[in-house]
Structure 1
Amino acid sequence: MKLLSLVVISGIFFSIANFTSESPKHGESMLTVHLPEFRLIPTTGASGPESFVFDFSGEGPYTGLSDGRIVKWLANESRWIDFAVTTPTREGCEGPHEHQRTEHVCGRPLGLAFDKSTSNLYIADAYMGLLEVGPEGGLANKIVTDQLDEPLTFTNSLDIDPRTGVIYFTDSSSVYQRRNYIGAMLSSDRTGRLMKYDPNTKQVTTLLSNLGFPNGVVLSETGDYLLVAETITCRILRYRLNDTSSASKSLEGYEVFADRLPGFPDNIKKSPRGGYWVGLNTKHSKLTEIGMSNPWLGRAALSLPVDWMKVHSYWAKYKGNGMAVRLSEGSGVITEVFEGKNGNKWMSISELEERDDGTLWVGSVNTPFAGMYKF
């Protein structure tokens, strides 16, 4: 019986990385973009450039890597340079080894954002929490201490209000660390939080709790609401700021901005053409839909003697199916789809950063390179 359960659950799990040719059924004027010509930019010494940010001089991008470093791209010299680290414990961090085994010691920087008033870089590190480093880089300083009622376990993404300097960030789980995020997915964990940090008062506030793997977060162009990617439920939530009216919020405190996305959402970023790009780590298949409808299957999988993180890592290398979708500003409808075809498929896409000049930077937590596309 246990062997049969393993076969069934493995089939559902593997299908998380299985390609499906079905197009998302959202939007009346949806455009699918296939870009066969692109440039791969290897990351030296480590992998997983998940998120990108440019400074206010337009330099960069900056990105975090699997060995705990934050690096900066020098466009004129076509190379990466070290910019910052999130922990002083660097012995054994760099070099060729399985970084996932050491990231709880070396740090794993994920979300990044510059503060316009100070040019300081704020960092959401999965293990070290919320940190800050000056414009010259170096060792980042922790700004949210462990004195919280419930310590940060899996700090993931952040965005900054340029008017107030307030930082909004996600803590994806209070149970599972990043090095076991598959456990959070399989168990349908709902201990994630949306939080804010006010640098003026040094206070941390929980805005939403009981979320299913809250991931990317972005402040709207008008600054009146936040969008949060809830990975487990494959939807985007809207949290209205400074609005306590019962008419605009459900009992949970949020609205659903976009539902039934065609894959598992990761980061979310504004597009200069309007709307929001959402990176989808992997696309759905029929079996993942069955798994999402029957969460007991995932919990049963966790009881089996299987290293699901390793299984997922191996399978993703052979079944690349990441994509990104652009959602409309007002209604959350999918208006554009970005994905590779044939030999240009991505094993996963965590973020798509679009620049004013039509350049697209594509990040992935799995690859040893960043992608740069040009419209």
Structure 2
Amino acid sequence: MAPVYSLSKAMGSKLFLTTSATVLLLSAFLSVLDHFSLPSVDEESDLRNVIPIAGAAGPESLAFDPQGGGPYTGVSDGRIIKWLQDERRWIDFAVTSAQREGCEGGGPQHGEHEQRESICGRPLGLGFNKRTGNLFIADAYMGLLVVGPQGGLATPIATEADGVPFGFTNGLDIDQQTGFVYFTDSSSRYRRRNYVSVIARGDSTGRLLKYDPGSGQTTVILGNLTFPNGVALSRDGDFLLVADTTNCRILKVWLQSSNAGRVEVFAGGLPGFPDNIQRNEAGEFWVAIHARRGQLLKWVLSFSRVGRAVVEVSPFDLTKLHSVLGKWSGSGSRLVGVRLSKGGEVVEVVEDGRRNGWKFVSEVKERDGKLWIGSISMPFVGMQEMEKAS
């Protein structure tokens, strides 16, 4: 009878985990529902602080070309678009996939683009080589690509490292002295459309990589990372920062001096999940905060068995649930980002106290006295004068 007992026990355990995961997620939904309200028209359409994007959403990363033009940003239908300030309009600049049939149009706010992003591409991190004018692109599905100053169809330059294909290419930064491109592969197990599962599961298949345009070689700097996300070089190029999204912290990787190869925590205990990192002219770092880290998710992450159950046996799509709950949030101010000193101390916290509709923030970029705000899901780019930041 022992085999029957073991089978019964296993089935009971799976049923318990399934039930626990379902109850957990329903509890999360119901516990916050009372505090949620549908976003108002005023909240979503304050044109004083946003630049609307027609027909697409999710301006995840922002870049300006060597002449100061832009910003450029990648959006949900796979295009990279450029903002023409004088004409107050967006134009198409580049794409990461030659397969464009069925990519544009539809309803980005309802997930139609997400269903085809593995075909159409989903450009995330962007960065210009200031000497050549080439734009480097981290596309979640297509890998690392580059396109010339005139735009067009980008060319893939790296899709794997050490024989392991990229699963979720994400953030990047460029060393303007050497031309090296530092970038992240957030997970080799989960794709971008399942990014919440990377966190809930505690996935540690992420990597920090370096591409050398001279040799065409891609090398792994760090492996076994939990959701490595945005990256940023120091002003002197002696160290590199990488966002450890799952653990709400920023890691520091020394590249030069006697500390070369050493990894340490640059900033821990951040108030939410960090996304892209951008260095300002003073050598400080802006870290975008995707969402606050609630007590419920802290508990899930504290118990790996619970996290596995939520991902593997839950009847819910965690990423879609997270998106729905976030878009319904309408009360109080939202965390946008934090500014870190050269030593990793939090010197400023920016919140959307004016209810501009900035949600799922992915980028905070300081330029010419303004903060430019990117998001993985909103249909606009945010912009706010520094002295007015709340």
From the superposition, tell whether residues 14 and 111 of structure 1 become closer, same or farther in structure 2 (CA, over 3 Å).
farther
- Deviating 4+ runs (over 4 angstroms): 12-19, 145-148
**Residue 294 of structure 2 is aligned to residue 285 of structure 1:** yes
Q: Whose relative contact order is higher, 1 or 2, with alpha carbons under 8 Å and at least 6 apart?
A: 1
Aligned residues of 1:60 and 1:73 also touching (Cα < 8 A): yes
- How far residue 238 of structure 1 moved from its aligned partner, in angstroms, is 0.4
Residues 32-181 of structure 1 correspond to what in structure 2 (within 5 A)?
38-97=48-107, 98-146=112-160, 148-181=162-195
Aligned residues of 1:112 and 1:123 also touching (Cα < 8 A): yes
From the superposition, tell whether residues 307 and 37 of structure 1 become closer, same or farther in structure 2 (CA, over 3 Å).
closer
- How far residue 322 of structure 1 moved from its aligned partner, in angstroms, is 4.0
Residues 1-375 of structure 1 correspond to what in structure 2 (within 5 A)?
1=16, 2-12=18-28, 38-97=48-107, 98-146=112-160, 148-243=162-257, 245=259, 253-302=262-311, 303-319=313-329, 321-330=334-343, 332-341=344-353, 343-344=355-356, 346-355=358-367, 357-375=368-386
TM-score with structure 1 setting the length? 0.89
Matching residue's letter, 2:235:
E
Per-residue CA deviation, residues 253-306 of structure 1 (Å, 9 max, x unaligned), is 410000010000000001234410000100122223222322322211121222
- How far residue 187 of structure 1 moved from its aligned partner, in angstroms, is 0.5
Aligned residues of 2:234 and 2:283 also touching (Cα < 8 A): no
| 288-297 or 189-198: bigger deviation | 288-297
- How far residue 315 of structure 1 moved from its aligned partner, in angstroms, is 1.1
Higher Cα Rg: structure 1 or 2? Answer: 2
**SS of residue matched to 1:343:** coil
CA distance in 2, matches of 1:187, 1:124: 24
**SS of residue matched to 2:158:** coil
Q: Matched residues, percent identical?
A: 52
CA distance in 2, matches of 1:210, 1:16: 33
User: RMSD of the alignment, in Å?
Assistant: 2.3
From the superposition, tell whether residues 300 and 342 of structure 1 become closer, same or farther in structure 2 (CA, over 3 Å).
farther
- How far residue 71 of structure 1 moved from its aligned partner, in angstroms, is 0.2
Matching residue's letter, 2:183:
F
| 300-309 or 64-73: bigger deviation | 300-309
Aligned residues of 2:252 and 2:266 also touching (Cα < 8 A): yes
From the superposition, tell whether residues 17 and 43 of structure 1 become closer, same or farther in structure 2 (CA, over 3 Å).
farther
Unaligned runs of 5+ in 1: 20-35
| 281-290 or 127-136: bigger deviation | 281-290
CA distance in 1, matches of 2:283, 2:132: 27
Matching residue's letter, 1:8:
L
Matching residue's letter, 1:254:
V
CA distance in 2, matches of 1:64, 1:213: 20
Matching residue's letter, 2:301:
M
From the superposition, tell whether residues 200 and 4 of structure 1 become closer, same or farther in structure 2 (CA, over 3 Å).
closer
- How far residue 308 of structure 1 moved from its aligned partner, in angstroms, is 1.7
TM-score with structure 2 setting the length? 0.85
Unaligned runs of 5+ in 2: 1-15, 36-45
CA distance in 1, matches of 2:20, 2:132: 58
CA distance in 1, matches of 2:20, 2:192: 29
**SS of residue matched to 1:101:** helix
| 4-13 or 225-234: bigger deviation | 4-13
CA distance in 1, matches of 2:179, 2:31: 42
CA distance in 2, matches of 1:12, 1:304: 13
Matching residue's letter, 1:298:
G
CA distance in 1, matches of 2:365, 2:185: 22
CA distance in 1, matches of 2:363, 2:33: 17
Per-residue CA deviation, residues 134-181 of structure 1 (Å, 9 max, x unaligned), is 000000001114575111111101111111101100000010110111
- Could you say which residue in structure 2 is the equivalent of 1:31? none
CA distance in 2, matches of 1:366, 1:177: 16
CA distance in 1, matches of 2:27, 2:369: 39
Q: Quick check: which one's helix share is greater?
A: 2
CA distance in 1, matches of 2:30, 2:216: 44
CA distance in 2, matches of 1:192, 1:71: 28
- How far residue 4 of structure 1 moved from its aligned partner, in angstroms, is 4.7
